[in-house]
Amino acid sequence: MADIQQLQKLSTQVRRDIVRMVHAVSSGHPGGSLGCTDFLVALYNGVMKHDSNNFTMDGKGEDLFFLSNGHISPVYYSVLARCGYFPVEELKTFRRLNTRLQGHPTTHDHLPGIRIASGSLGQGMSVAIGAALTKKLNHDNSIIYSLHGDGELQEGQIWEAAMYAAANKVDNYIATIDYNGRQIDGDVDNVLSLGNLKAKFEAFGWQVVETERGNDLVSVIEGLSKSKSYIGKGKPIVNIMKTEMGAGVDFMMGTHKWHGSAPNDEQLAKALGQLEETLGDY
């Protein structure tokens, strides 16, 4: 496990990457990307067992991660690149013609680190369950992780998957919910309330872990460690992680408006002024 200060530096750099990537092409999704930065930084730097130098689709003997809310591709790409899956320089190509860094992640262009296409919401939990079943069939005791937006939970397929995973004791699987309370059209509570999310997952038969401060690396790591402690105990695990959409850039926080909007030149400068360049920009 890298020390917290190092991870903090990485998080700050990833946030710089995110705002620079979406600014460069005037499109993309900075809000959720910034909110999930600490989670993905922690996951890929100490929590997950993975090999960024020898990526294989099958990932035998490795923990696997599936991003179900594919629109937060900027944070995913930045974390993968800064872990060594592909050159950091390639972040320049995000959303540009002929890039491997498509608007939403895909296996189509063979970008190391990606094992499924996502973007159309609600599909990643099913895929993660399938991968978890194969781990069991292969007697591979690695862990499957996935990340979902809270708005994404409005998709019916999520609940088909949730029912299946509990009924079939898929207990080598940790799903994390980015519980930021916001989606494109506004607050989740106003668009379509999720009600009592913890009670819903418990009623479906899941082990629920709550991470109260999803933008605090220590809290994120604690939440994931607690989640891992339930592996192999007969239930799928959900980590309901409270985050702030836009975390790290003051004017992107407290609103849903930066879900899918890119900053202009002036806004970029303001954002970068709040994010120290720690590891070098691409």
Partner 1 sequence: MKKYTYTEKKDTRSGFGVGLQELGKTNPNVVALCADLIGSLKMDAFKAENPERFFQVGIAEANMIGIAAGLTIGGKIPFTGTFANFSTGRVYDQIRQSVAYSGKNVKICASHAGLTLGEDGATHQILEDIGLMKMLPHMCVINPCDYNQTKAATIAIAEYDGPVYLRFGRPSVPNFTDANQSFEIGKAVLLNEGTDVTIIATGHLVWKAIEAGEKLAEQGISAEIINIHTIKPLDNDAILTSVSKTRCVVTAEEHQMHGGLGDSVAQLLSRHLPTPQEFVAVNDSFGESGTPDELMSKYGLDTIDIINATHKVLKRK
Residues that bind partner 1 (CB under 8 A): 57-60, 64, 66, 106-108, 115-120, 122-135, 137-138, 140, 156-157, 160-161, 163-164, 167-168
* Shortest Cβ 215–partner 1 spacing (Å): 29
* Shortest Cβ 1–partner 1 spacing (Å): 26
* Shortest Cβ 229–partner 1 spacing (Å): 24
* Shortest Cβ 164–partner 1 spacing (Å): 6
Cβ proximity to partner 1: between 20 and 71 the closer is 71
Residues in the chain: 282
Burial of 255 (0-12, 13-18, 19+ CB in 10 A): middle
* Shortest Cβ 105–partner 1 spacing (Å): 10
Cβ proximity to partner 1: between 120 and 196 the closer is 120
The structure tokens listed for 54 are 């020898």
Distance of alpha carbon 227 from the chain centroid:
16
Cβ count near 55 (within 10 Å) = 19
* Helical residues (DSSP H) of the chain, grouped into ranges: 4-25, 30-35, 37-42, 73-82, 124-137, 156-167, 188-192, 197-203, 217-229, 265-273
* Shortest Cβ 208–partner 1 spacing (Å): 20
Cβ proximity to partner 1: between 49 and 60 the closer is 60
d(CA 2, CA 47): 10
Please choose, from the candidates 85, 15, 73, 104, the residue with its C-alpha nearest in 3D space to the C-alpha of residue 44: 85
Cβ proximity to partner 1: between 120 and 225 the closer is 120
Cβ proximity to partner 1: between 108 and 233 the closer is 108
Cβ proximity to partner 1: between 59 and 246 the closer is 59
Burial of 273 (0-12, 13-18, 19+ CB in 10 A): exposed
